[in-house]
Amino acid sequence: MMHNWGYGYGTGWLHMIGMAIFWIIIIALAIYLIKGLTTNNNYSNKQLNKTKSEDAIEIAKKRYARGEISKEEYQKLLNDLKND
């Protein structure tokens, strides 16, 4: 005589619900990661460009302080860098 002990036909719907929840979580996670990667890139690029510009301004200040460039050249560099 066979005893199912609740592991037979009675739990099939639980497995279906569990699999549905599993795939919903996997799909939601994939969408979240893809959206996060594309959205953060725009922000990161803006921050990177800002950092590069600030670094270039610091370099121009140091060159001017050392006397490597004239005041006119320094002003032109600052204007060019701030317009980027």
Residue 45 within any structural domain of the chain: yes
Angle at 38 between CA 32 and CA 41, to 5 degrees: 130
* Domain assignment of residue 5, yes or no: no
Question: Is residue 62, in this structure, part of any structural domain at all?
Answer: yes
Tell whether 58 is covered by a domain.
yes
**Residue at 17 is within a domain:** no
In a domain, 6, yes or no: no
Q: Would you say residue 3 lies in a domain? A: no
DSSP reduced 3-state for 31: helix
- 19-75 pLDDT, tens digit per residue, is 999 999 999 999 998 887 776 565 566 666 666 667 888 888 989 999 999 999 999
Instruction: Let me know: does 69 contact 56? Beta carbons within 8 Å.
Output: no
Q: How many structural domains comprise the chain?
A: 1
Answer yes or no: pTM beyond 0.85.
no
Taking CA atoms, 55 is separated from 13, 47, 60, 61, 81, in Å, by 61, 12, 9, 10, 10
